Amino acid sequence: MKALSYLAFTMAICGLVFTELPVAATAVNITGTWEVTIHYPPPDGDYQATYVLKQDGGKITGTYHGMYGPAEVSGTIKSNDVALIVTVHGSTARFSGKVPSATKMSGTMTLRLDSSSSLPTAGDGAPTHKWSAEKKK
Residue 2: inside a domain: no
pLDDT for the residue numbered 33: 98
pTM (2 d.p.)? 0.73
Half-sphere exposure of 36 (CA within 13 A, CB side): 30
The number of folded domains in the chain is 1
**Cα 100–chain centre separation:** 10
Share of the chain above pLDDT 70, in %: 71
State how far the Cα of 115 lies from the Cα of 128, in Å rounded to an integer: 18
Domain containing residue 91: CATH number? 2.40.128.120
Domain of residue 86: give its range. 32-135
**Residue 5: is its pLDDT beyond 50?**
no
Residue 40: inside a domain: yes
pLDDT for the residue numbered 70: 95
Kind and range of the H or E run holding 129 = strand 128-135
